[in-house]
Each structure stands twice: as structure tokens, then as C-alpha cells.
Amino acid sequence: MVQYAVALKEGEWTLFRNGEVLVRGLSRSRAVERAEVLAADAREAGQEVELLVQDYIGALKRRRGL
């Protein structure tokens, strides 16, 4: 299983893969877009994927419909 997450870290929207930082300093929408593309690629490669996105009030929510 691979996990992608978009969360606010030290004041910057950050994209993580399995807890490791991939990219920092993106807009939230751009980080979510990149996470969705990476998640789709992983699914096509046969991996199970979980995508978590932090909302503006701080809660991490599982993204559905991938």
C-alpha cells in the first residue's frame, strides 16, 4: 500500500508519500492535484492507494473516488 497525503507543515502545503516529504511550498489545490495524479499512477501499477487531504481547519480526511 502507498499513502499520499497533503497537509500544512510549517506554514506550507506539503505533499507526502508514505510519510516522507515529496514536495513543499505548493498551493493546496496544486498539491492535491499532484497527489491525485500520483495516486492514479500507483493504482494503474496495481498498488493499493490511500489519499489523505488536510482541510482548511486542520482535519485530515480520506479522499474518495480515486
Model pLDDT, residue 53: 96
Q: Would you place residue 9 in the very low, low, confident or very high pLDDT band (cuts 50, 70, 90)?
A: very high
Contacts of 46 by beta carbon, 8 Å cutoff, 6+ apart:
none
The enclosing H or E element of 59 equals none
* pLDDT tens per residue across span 10-58: 999 999 999 999 999 999 999 999 999 999 999 999 999 999 999 888 8
Q: What pTM does this model have?
A: 0.87
